[in-house]
Amino acid sequence: MTETEINQGGCLCGAVRYEVDGPLQDICYCHCGQCQKATGHYYASSAATTGRFRLTRSDGLKWYKSSNWGERGFCGDCGSSLFWKLQGTEDYSFLVGSLDGDPTLKGGMHIFVDDKKSYYHLDDGLPQYGGLPDRAEQK
């Protein structure tokens, strides 16, 4: 992907839309209990470097403080889960399923695998972490 490419995405009803320009990060698969509750399964997200994400429509956007340090964004109209971010920042992670079309992405890692349900298996060869890895561990 080149720096000039723009990916767009949004919720099911269109009340929340966003754009991300430049390269997207590899997919992070989060298996924590909160992501399971918020999405009904595990959370497959990507992100972009700071300043490359922008909301283009936020009529339906609602935020839920899901922990002492994180917030989850969703559409209050249709209920679509869309975002996760550290409180007090503008660095958004977004569910890759909310992107329009079929962007070229690859898997990067699995986190919080100690919390995953037993009905599925992880056999894709990606790095797995029991919790949240230290930045130094991430390659």
Q: What value does the mean pLDDT take over residues 15-21? A: 96
- The mean of the pLDDT values for the chain is 90
Q: What is the pLDDT of residues 20-78, one digit of tens each?
A: 998 899 999 999 999 999 999 999 999 987 789 999 999 999 999 998 888 999 999 99
CB atoms near residue 62 (< 10 Å): 14
> What domains appear along the chain, each with residue ranges and CATH number?
6-137 (2.170.150.70)
- Which residue in 58, 98, 67, 56 sits closest to 81, CA to CA? 98
**pTM, two decimal places:** 0.87
Q: What are the residues whose beta carbons fall under 8 Å from the beta carbon of 135, sequence distance 6 or more?
A: none
Residue 139 has pLDDT above 50, yes or no: no
Residue 92 has pLDDT above 90, yes or no: no
Residue 1 has pLDDT above 50, yes or no: no
CB 121 within 8 A of CB 31: no
Who wins on pLDDT, 87 or 44? 44
